[in-house]
Amino acid sequence: MLNTESQYRLVFCTNSDIQLTTLLNGLNNLGFIGKTVFRTNAGQEYCVGDSFLQSVTFMGCSPYIELEPAVQLKPDAVADFCFIRVLAVNDNHVLYHATQLDKLKTVPRCKHCRKVIADWVEHAPAFNTTNHWQLDCPACGHKLTQDDLDWRKASGSGNLFIEVVNVYLQEAVPTDAFLQQLETISSSPWQYFYTDSNMNTKLLDSN
């Protein structure tokens, strides 16, 4: 796979029973993904498709986004162009930053009452050890699953992940139409967030 160390990305995630091949066919039909860059057991990487810029709105005056790879591109090369990686994991509700919890500074909120879950770190080790993880919200008493935690666009959980690599924090925003198209393909709602592999970024949406 391409080397994406420290690179920024926009990530979509969902929990769905859809097969990975069905998702990939849907993304291809939408024109969101284009030609294959590399395929490995861990994930599949694609150039952006012809309709990518209709699916994602770039903010700012005139952002420059390199959409084409170098002519000679090798596995493990540092990728300096915008590309898409699609990942599938075996379990549901897998936290994207499961191996980086010590660096994840964002405190999640309960989606029901919007109060922060101040003691989330104590429960974090169980996030990916059970598919039936639950936590009673200390403020409203709701029994929370991973999907009930709002990471304020700094993380998310699922069994399917779509990474748009080399997109700066909050530089690109998916259109409502594209999110609806994803939901139609997978029969499940999608969330999105921003990160880099080292998470050396300030908190997003922190109000």
- 110 three-class SS: strand
- 54 three-class SS: helix
Domain boundaries, the chain: 8-89+153-196
Contacts of 207 (CB under 8 A, 6+ apart): none
Q: What are 129-166's pLDDT values in tens digits? A: 656 678 889 999 999 887 888 988 988 889 999 999 98
Structure tokens at 84: 């898409």
- 125 three-class SS: helix
Contact 147, 157 (CB under 8 A): yes
Q: What are 52-100's pLDDT values in tens digits? A: 999 999 886 656 778 887 767 776 767 778 999 999 988 888 888 877 7
- The structure's pTM equals 0.86
- Looking at the domain covering 8-89+153-196, what would its CATH class be? alpha beta
